[in-house]
Structure 1
Amino acid sequence: MRILHTADWHIGKKLHGYDLIDDQRHIVDQIIEIARTEKVTAIVIAGDLYDRSVPAVEAVKLLNEKIAEINLTHKLPLLAISGNHDSPIRLETGKQWFTGTQFHLATSIADSLQPVTISDTQFFLLPYFEPIEARLFFDEPITTIAQGMLRVIDEMKRQFDQTKKQILVTHFFAAGSSQTDSEIKIQVGGLDSVPLDAFEPFDRVLLGHLHSKHALKHPQIKYSGSPLKYSLSEWQDEKGVYVIDTVADTCDFTPLKPKRDIYSIEASFAELTDPAFYTTLDRSAFWHFSLTDRAVIPNMMNQLRKIYPTILAVERINGREQEQKERLTLKDNDPQTLIQQFFREMTGDQLMDTQQRWIDQGLSEVLTTEKRVDQ
């Protein structure tokens, strides 16, 4: 059989405050098209379908729409698990009816112990869990996820059909892998890491949780990575999905093309605002700029956003000495001068008389309050 492996959709996530719903719809449509083109037998989503336990209405609508398109319109079996960002209780609503259309959704340890058999393969769907869940389920002194994982896998092995292949779908930090900024740092002292040798009983392990396909280099254990770049640290990553053939024993990566990519460039403010320069760029993309300028640039962000609407960050690569001098100068100024200077640098304009009166009134009230406290 042929399997499409994806994970970490994080439907509803924002990037530096920018809404990504349309970007996510665009990328899931690509995933569906790849599944149809590659004639896969099933699609696996290895956790974090949503970005938060209580997703926004728009996020719920989008996920429902795409799940229905995959499973009902195109009749593709779908195997999914809850991740650390999902609420198992909310996600599992209605799952009693899902299996009738071969939508297999696992949200608990108990779910994982009943394999889903499709063609020549048994799938074991193990959602993210905390140690306390394993401790209560098995009524044993389990204190780490690694201990819980080993105990769960021992139970899974009892269900192995030796005439078939076994694939584990789960959502954890496998020991030896690396992270990017868009995954919340939830491990404490290695609490959530799972040793790779725990996965040895399985023919393949399809992972979610880390957002880069390079997070772990192992022939049989794979992170698909997230389908979109969810942090600036991922701007050079190639996003995509894996297509696995269980008969040929192959695992091929297929890239995805985002609606809006992330780019980072080094340039001067004059270059960035020069039409001859910026008309060669994709200004609808997300941008990170490293400015070479040392001088203060009045109203800099507003000027840049008129040209590049979705700026993630701007940093100066040569401005530390200048910034230090400015900080030293600021210390010597009175509040009135500081406010006037700040307003001028941010807007390029002088305070109006009305604004100045508001500031005078506010400062007067603050000083009066301070005197009362001192007395």
Structure 2
Amino acid sequence: MRFLHTADWHIGKKLHGYDLLTEQEDAYRQIKAIALAEQVDAVVIAGDLYDRALPGEDAVAVLDHMLVDLNRQEHLPVLAISGNHDSAVRLGYGREWFASTHFYLKTTVAESLHPVTVGDTQFFLLPYFEPFAVRQLFDDPEIRTVTQAMVRLVTAMKAAFDPAKKHVLVAHFFAAGSQHSDSETLVQVGGLNAVPTDLLRDFDYVALGHLHRKEALQSEPTMKYSGSPLKFSTSEADDTKGVWLVDTATTPVTVTFKPLTPLHDLVVLQDSFDHLMDPQQAYPVTKEDFVTIGLTDTTPISNVMQRLKTRFPRIIELKRVNQLTVTPKVMTTQETQRDPLTLMGDFFEQVTQHELTAQQQAWAKTALQAAEKGAKK
């Protein structure tokens, strides 16, 4: 069979205050188009359908439309699990009757031990979990880490393997050797949630969610993070987002990446303020793209964010590339007794390595006169 592997939709997420529902709907349409064009037999969503446990009404409506469209309108089997951003209880409401339309949504660890069979493949759907859930499931007080929990879970899953079929694990966790990006919630404490990939080698394919880069497990040809459909942080600006197509007819399974094109991209620009504001300077962005700017200037710039937004309306981050290292100057008694404007000018030059402009000197003089006038009242 052939299935599509995606994850980390994070419906309802905002990017530095900007709503992403329009971008998420566009990404979904591309995912559906790939699924139909490739004639997949099922769609796998490996957790984090929502961005938070209590999603807003708009986010609920958007995800509901996506799932109904995919499963009821296009008649595609959907296999999904809850992630660490989802509320397992809320997301799992109604899952008992969802299966009647081949929408298999699993939100408890116990359900992962009973595979869902589609075509020639058994799917073990393991939602995000904490060790105590597995400790309670097996009534074993010795289970205290994710690794110990996975040893017990994988052993139980292997006992349910049908040797005549392929076996796929769908899970949402941090597998050993992968790398985080900034937009993931870092839930590990001392490596608590890291799962050794060696524990997973008896599966023909492992469809992972939780990390937002598809490259997170490059050394594992049959264990993949799909990555998020959108760029959710500046650290992902250079990433190519997409989904995996998995064919189980071969041994090992055949895995093919299908890219998605962002409706509005996330772009990092690094240049001087004058160049950025120069209309003759062309940059690979549109008015609707999200932009992170690294300023190369070392001088202060008044109202810098507001002025940059006149050209790049969706700035999500602004930082200085060339930070100055200042060594405090030790002043003599005579130097400290100089007039305030001279002291301020010296301090400004020490900090910025630039002299005050005539305009800045005028502002400073006006401010000093106002302060002195107020002190005499």
Q: Which range, TM-score by smaller chain?
A: 0.7 to 0.9
- Give the AA of the match of 2:115: P
Q: Secondary structure at the match of 1:257?
A: coil
Distance 1:274 1:193 in 2: 48
- Give the AA of the match of 2:239: D
* Stretches of structure 1 lacking an aligned partner (at least 5 in a row): 334-343, 365-375
Q: Per the alignment, do residues 155 and 233 of structure 1 end up closer, same or farther by CA in structure 2, a change over 3 Å counting? A: same
Distance 2:210 2:7 in 1: 8
- Give the AA of the match of 1:55: P
Q: Per the alignment, do residues 331 and 120 of structure 1 end up closer, same or farther by CA in structure 2, a change over 3 Å counting? A: farther
The answer (yes or no) to whether the contact 1:295–1:322 under 8 Å persists in 2 is no
Residue 13 of structure 2 corresponds to: 13
The answer (yes or no) to whether the contact 2:43–2:78 under 8 Å persists in 1 is yes
The answer (yes or no) to whether the contact 2:267–2:285 under 8 Å persists in 1 is no
Q: Per the alignment, do residues 100 and 318 of structure 1 end up closer, same or farther by CA in structure 2, a change over 3 Å counting? A: same
Aligned length: 344
- Give the AA of the match of 1:68: V
Deviation at 1:265, TM superposition (A): 1.9
Residue 225 of structure 2 corresponds to: 223
1:302 aligns with 2:306: yes
- Give the AA of the match of 1:105: L
- Give the AA of the match of 2:320: R
Provide, for residues 324-369 of structure 1, a one-character-per-residue CA deviation record: whole Å limited to 9, x for no partner: 99xx959989xxxxxxxxxx99xx9xx9xxxx99xx8xxx9xxxxx
Residue 291 of structure 2 corresponds to: 287
Q: Secondary structure at the match of 1:320?
A: coil
Distance 1:22 1:324 in 2: 50
Residue 188 of structure 1 corresponds to: 189
Residue 119 of structure 1 corresponds to: 119
Distance 1:23 1:134 in 2: 37
Q: Per the alignment, do residues 25 and 158 of structure 1 end up closer, same or farther by CA in structure 2, a change over 3 Å counting? A: same
Deviation at 1:58, TM superposition (A): 1.0
Distance 1:291 1:185 in 2: 29
Distance 1:95 1:330 in 2: 69
Q: Secondary structure at the match of 2:128?
A: coil
- Give the AA of the match of 2:268: S
Partner of residue 233 from structure 1, selected from 235, 241, 246: 235
Residue 103 of structure 2 corresponds to: 103
Residue 76 of structure 1 corresponds to: 76
TM-score relative to the length of structure 2: 0.85
- Give the AA of the match of 2:294: S
Q: Per the alignment, do residues 279 and 264 of structure 1 end up closer, same or farther by CA in structure 2, a change over 3 Å counting? A: closer
Residue 259 of structure 1 corresponds to: 263
Deviation at 1:283, TM superposition (A): 2.8
Distance 2:248 2:321 in 1: 50
Distance 2:313 2:40 in 1: 39
Residue 340 of structure 1 corresponds to: none
- Give the AA of the match of 2:259: P
Residue 338 of structure 1 corresponds to: none
Deviation at 1:317, TM superposition (A): 2.0
Deviation at 1:321, TM superposition (A): 4.9
The answer (yes or no) to whether the contact 1:284–1:309 under 8 Å persists in 2 is yes
Deviation at 1:82, TM superposition (A): 0.3
Within-5 A mapping of 1:270-349: 270-278=274-282, 281-321=285-325
TM-score relative to the length of structure 1: 0.86
Distance 1:324 1:66 in 2: 59
The answer (yes or no) to whether the contact 1:43–1:79 under 8 Å persists in 2 is yes
Distance 1:104 1:209 in 2: 19
Distance 1:280 1:181 in 2: 23
Sequence identity (%): 50
Within-5 A mapping of 1:168-179: 168-179=169-180
Deviation at 1:273, TM superposition (A): 1.0
Provide, for residues 166-215 of structure 1, a one-character-per-residue CA deviation record: whole Å limited to 9, x for no partner: 10000011111111111111111111011111112211111001110111
RMSD: 2.8
